[in-house]
Every structure is written in C-alpha cells, then in structure tokens.
Amino acid sequence: MELRIDRVTKNYGSKIACDRLSITFGKGVYGLLGANGAGKTTLMRMMCGILNPTSGTISYDGVDVSCEEYRDVLGYLPQDFGYYPEFTAQDFMMYIAALKGIPKSKAKVKTEELLEMVSLKNEAKKKIKTFSGGMKQRLGIAQAMLNDPKILVLDEPTAGLDPKERVRFRNIISRMGADRIILLSTHIVSDIEHIANTILVMKNGQLIHEGSLEEIIAVIRGKVWECTVPQKISDELTVKYPIINTRNVGDEVFLRLVCDEKPCDDAVNADATLEDLYLYYFSEEENDKS
Amino acid sequence: MRFNLKKELREAFTPPEPNGRDGFLAAIPYPKLTYREFVLSQICYIRKRIWFVSLLILLAGVGAVYIVPDSSMVLVWIISALIPLLAVLTAAEISRSDIFGMFEIEAVCRFALPQVIGARMIILGICNFAVIAAATAVLGIFSPLGIAKSALYILTPYVSVNGISLAIFGRVNGQDGVYLSVAAAFAVSLAGVILFGKELYDERMTNVLMMAVCVAGTVLMTVQIKKLLVGKDNYYGIKD
C-alpha cells in the first residue's frame, strides 16, 4: 500500500500553489498543517483527481490518480460541500453509494452502519437542510467512508464538531489508520497532535517539515520560553520575537515566545508543543494577512 | 436422534465470540454497478419537475387540439412557449452538481462527475427527445406548419435556451444562475409569442431567422456540453 506523489506542481497563472512536492504515503494517519493559502487544499484536490497537476504524477500502487481503480479506493471529505435540497441524510448516502458503484442492497446496510457511527441514525429520514453545521459535517464524514476507502482524504474534518464529537471522531480516524492511508488537514493543531503518525507542514506551496511529532517539535525544542514582565519590556519583546501567547497578569504581562536564546532574565524554558511550532511558522503570515 | 445431539451440543458449549468477523465480511468482494446499472439508478434522482413539465407539454398539446381545434396557431404558441421551460429545467438538472456545490464530492467517486453528468444527459435526452418528437408530431398533424417546420419551431427555442442556460450555469454560481436562466427562457418564450403573434417578418424571413438561431443554439449547447464532460478545474473554477 503506497501512495506516491512525485514532483507535483500546480500553478494558477503566475501563482505557484504547490511547488515540486514529493511525498510517499504508507499506512497510517498523516496530518497536514499550514496557514490559509499554503497549498493544502490544492494538494488534497490533486490527490483526489479533482485538479490536474501542472506537472508531476500521483499514483496509488502504480495506479494513476485519473483512473477509475484509484477513485474506487478513495474517500474524500471536502472543506465545503453542498447537498441537493430535497435529500434526506439517507437519500444523500444512497446517492453517493450509487456514484461509488455500490449495489443498493449493500448500500442500505452500509448507510445504516455509517449513520449510526456518526450518530445520525435517528436523523436518517430528515432533510439535510434542517441539519446543523456539525450534523452536515458528520454526514460528510460518513459519505467519505461508504466504499471502505484505502485512501481517505479529509479536509478540515473536525470543523464544526463540538469537543465531544471531535474526540470521538478523532478516535475513529485513529482506529481506521491501522489499515489505510489517511490524510487530514486541519487548523485544530491538537487533533493532529493526538492522532497523526506523521506530520506534514506546508508553507507557500512547499513541504517544509515531514516527520513524527517528536521529530517535528525538535526544531523548536529548547527555544520556547515563558516569562512575566512589565508592559514596557513586553512591548520590546513582542517586536523582537514571535509571540505564541500573551495574557495580562495584574500589572504585568505573561508571554510565551520562541527565540534561540533567553529573552530576559526571568524567562524559563518551556516544553515545546506542535501549536508552538505552528504559531512560530505561521503567526507572521497570519499577521500580514490580517 | 441426530437432531437431539446437535441440540445438546449447542446447549453444552458456548460458541466463541466471532473474531474479525466484520473485517472478513468487509473484505469479501462484491460486484460493483456497471455503467448501465448506474445510469438506471440515476432515474430516481431526476427531479419530479422535469417529468411534470414533460407531461404538461404533451397534455397541453393534446388538450389544445381538442379544445381549440380551429385555432391551429394557438397550438404552436402554447408548445413553443412551454419548450423553453423544459430546456431550462433540463439545463438546471444537468448542471445541478455545480449549482448546489456537490461537484467536489461527485468528482471523486468511482463514476466521476463527467459520467454522472453523462448519465443525466442520457436520461434527460431520451425524455426530451420523446417530448419533442411527440410535440412535433402533434404540431405537424394539427397545425398548418408541417413536420419540418414544426421541428424547427420546437427545436429552436429548445436548443437556444438550453445552450444559454448551460453557459450561464457554467459561469454564475448557485441560485443566481437559476434566476438568470429562467429569465433567458422567459425572454425566448416571449420572443416566440411576439414573432408568431405579430408576424413581424414574412414567412421566408422567419424561417431563415429560426434556422440561424437553431444552428447557433445547437453550437452553443454542444460547446457547453463538451465543457461539462471534459471540464474539471478549467470549467468549475476551483481555486485554493
């Protein structure tokens, strides 16, 4: 079981959305991190055959992404998806099952099983237009699993889910990752931290880090500091270093920041987390955008 | 005797819990739908309004023949005015993946988006062909136009509205596209009624004009259908 992305590039006019990406996926859960516009969705769409790469190839066990055999083992949850207004949850599942080539009798059994898994069994006959955002998201997750996919691509799967649902869904993904390739992209860093065996970090269309949580975090280990300082010093440090967290404590300011050396006398070294790494790489970009 | 032995064995021993049963069952290959079966499965997903309008056109044609047998041109107006409605509904049905934002999910399935759209075109094509053929026959028999002119008077609004609507759906997202297409269909219907009612041109001129519009509409419709079937990102405008 091997999904190979080989020197894939995608251009939109002069803008390079993905720049010569080469990744090989085996069984397991892969977490894709990156700021908005980093190229995550473009990469996922190319992996699903929705977008054609400008150059490079994508294949699963030698089967090209454009082949029916590839789509037959693929499950995909897009970031935003619509639905036909007259559909109930069950109609939606049966419709997608037909598109996936699943015979009606098998589709019925699978639909019931998956709707139960995502806690929508009692809502099976209700119109999707009456569903909340979280319910729609759960339905989207269920449809992606209809064909028991070997490659599961999930773009922001936990967006809109409440914390309890998120944890439940996280556990389901983790279990499923044992015998298939799962790639999930999310801004909820803790989701990736908990379930991804391998973390991929994208920036400006390029893969800047790839590895386990330990390997990824090693980049900033020993560089995360916490200190509580007066407002004036806080202002100076804020200009000088990437700030991960800030909070007022009485007259002073608590700071969590990343820098190579001790930023001030009171600073103490803190354990680095994936969120630190994410903010370290992308806070500047987010600030620029806002 | 044998029955009793089985029963006693069943009572004496508790069978072990099935181990990996779900995985085993899931791994059993099953025959996937063929494209023909898939096309047939899509009939029930065509919205009822298409069948309703198709029926309405047939009933209106037949009804007009019986109710106003002397005013044969009324029949031409009625059918020509209803045909754009069928055309716009057909275009909306073909383009509904795009209108309702389902194209991304549909594009990654075993039967990918072009095949899904193709299935809808096959079903709607057969349905529309039957309606157009029946309407042409009714007009050909009960109006002074004859079969050839009847076909022209029915096909022209159909292909032009269908082509325009598909072009609109390809460029304007969501419900806005629907409103614009309905407006286009209404304009074509109105133009037809005015053309037949006021007799602005002589007959020869009208026929030439109709033929030109029919050819242009057919070309536009063909181009749009080709875009839909081979489209992808260059058609749906998917961006990061």
Give the residue with greater pLDDT, B203 vs A284: B203
pLDDT at A94 exceeding the cut of 50: yes
List, for residues A150-201, the tens digit of each pLDDT value.
999 999 888 878 888 888 888 888 888 888 999 999 888 888 888 899 999 9
Residue A148 Rama label (left phi>0; alpha psi -120 to 50; beta): left
Contact A17/B at CB under 8 A: yes
List, for residues B123-144, the tens digit of each pLDDT value.
999 999 999 998 888 888 877 7
Tokens linked to A92: 């939606």
Contact A26/B at CB under 8 A: no
What's the average model confidence in pLDDT over A198-208? 91
Give the residue with greater pLDDT, B83 vs B20: B83
pLDDT for A156 equals: 87
pLDDT at B41 exceeding the cut of 80: yes
Question: What is the set of domains in chain A, with CATH numbers?
Answer: 3-212 (3.40.50.300), 222-271 (no CATH)
CB nearest B109 (choices: A84, A100, A104): A100
Q: Nearest residue on chain B to A70, judged by CA atoms?
A: B110
pLDDT at A16 exceeding the cut of 70: yes
CA distance A122 to chain B (A): 23
- Chain B contacts in chain A segment 52-71 (CB below 8 A): 52, 68, 71
Place of tokens 């063929």: B34
The order of strands in the sheet holding A252-258 is A243-249, A252-258, A224-230, A268-269
CA dihedral A65, A67, A69, A71 (to 10 degrees): 60
Compute the distance between CA of residue A96 and CA of residue B10 in angstroms, rounded to an integer: 43
pLDDT for B240 equals: 39
Compute the distance between CA of residue A276 and CA of residue B198 in angstroms, rounded to an integer: 76
pLDDT for B2 equals: 65
List, for residues A35-83, the tens digit of each pLDDT value.
888 899 999 999 999 999 999 999 999 999 989 999 999 999 998 888 8
List, for residues B163-187, the tens digit of each pLDDT value.
999 999 888 877 788 889 889 888 8
List, for residues A228-274, the tens digit of each pLDDT value.
999 888 888 888 888 888 899 888 899 998 888 888 888 899 888 88
Q: Look at B38 and A101 and tell me if their CB atoms are within 8 Å.
A: yes
Q: Look at B232 and A148 and tell me if their CB atoms are within 8 Å.
A: no
Residues counted in chain B:
240
* Under 8 Å between Cβ of A174 and A29: yes
CB nearest B233 (choices: A52, A80, A98): A52
What's the average model confidence in pLDDT over A279-289? 63
- The confidence band for B34, taking pLDDT boundaries of 50, 70 and 90, is very high
Compute the distance between CA of residue A51 and CA of residue A155 in angstroms, rounded to an integer: 15
Task: Out of A97-101, A132-136, A206-210, B234-238, give the one with best mean pLDDT.
Answer: A97-101
Contacts of B96 in chain A (CB under 8 A): 84
- Residue B33 contacts by C-beta under 8 Å, 6 or more apart in sequence? A98, A101, A102, A103, B41, B111
- Residue B39 contacts by C-beta under 8 Å, 6 or more apart in sequence? B119, B122, B123
> Closest by alpha carbon to A59, among A118, A110, A100, A1?
A1
* Domain assignments of chain B as residue spans, ordered by start: 26-231
